[in-house]
Amino acid sequence: MQNSLQRLFDGMAEALRDVVMPEVADDYARAQIAACIELLANVSTRVEWRVDQLREVTERADAAVGAAVALTPDMANAPGMEAVGGSDAVVARDRALARVSAALRWCDDHPSGDDGAEPLVGFARWHLHHELALLRTGMFRG
């Protein structure tokens, strides 16, 4: 997920107000759009990404990096490996994913990287299927 919840709510409301509404002539349909915009604005102040899902990703990413570092200790000093944690669950998730990617880049650049890459690729596989399990739509399915 590349987008923040607030940006998605704001973007959906903007598209309805600035793009869709001017093209709709029917009064009832316009009222529905206006209600959607209002609901998006008011729901946006009451929701956040599911913390249980964010924490699961963070914990599994951290575990994968930990396992990779145990196999290839030099990886611990690689660029991008320093930032961890954070009280905000989204920030912590983003940092954990960044560490996995930094560790994978280190593996590409070092002869011993194949060993360390295994738990990282394992996490990447899990992460994809975790995200796919949450998906409800898709034009490219199949």
Partner 1 sequence: MTPAEVASALQPWLAERFGVDAVVVDDVERRTEGFSWQTYIASVRWREPDGTARRHDVAIRRQPEDGLLAPYDIEAQFRLHQALVLTDVPIPPLIGLELDVSVLGMPFYAMDKAVGVVPVQWQGRDPAVFPDDETRRRIGLDFVDTLTVIHGVDWRTARLDEYLPGPAGGDAGTAEIDRWEGFLNEATAVEVPLLRAALGWCRRHRAVSDRLVLCHGDYRIGNFMLADGRINVVFDWELAHIGDPVEDVAWAGLRLFRGRSPLVSQLLPLPDVLTRYRERTGLDIDQDVLRFWTVLGMVRAAAPHVRGAAAFERGRSGDLRLAAMGHQTLHVMKHLADELGWTEPATVGTAISS
| Candidate residues 33, 76, 98, 110; the one interacting with partner 1 per rule CB under 8 A | 98
Helix (H) or strand (E) holding 62: helix 51-71
Is 2 a binding residue for partner 1 by CB under 8 A? The answer is yes
Q: Which residue has the tokens 């944690």?
A: 85
25 binding partner 1? (CB under 8 A): no
Of 31-70, binders to partner 1 (CB under 8 A) are: 60-61, 63-64, 67
* CA 67/CA 90 separation, integer angstroms: 23
The stretch near partner 1 (CB under 8 A) out of 24-32, 35-43, 81-89, 115-123 is 115-123
Place of tokens 């209600």: 35
Q: Determine, following the binding rule CB under 8 A, whether residue 91 of this chain makes contact with partner 1.
A: no
Degrees to nearest 5, angle at CA 55 with 45 and 80: 105
Residues 65, 104: Cα–Cα separation, whole Å? 9
Residues that bind partner 1 (CB under 8 A): 1-4, 7-8, 11-12, 14-15, 18, 60-61, 63-64, 67, 93-94, 97-98, 100-101, 104-105, 107-108, 113-114, 117-132, 135, 137-142
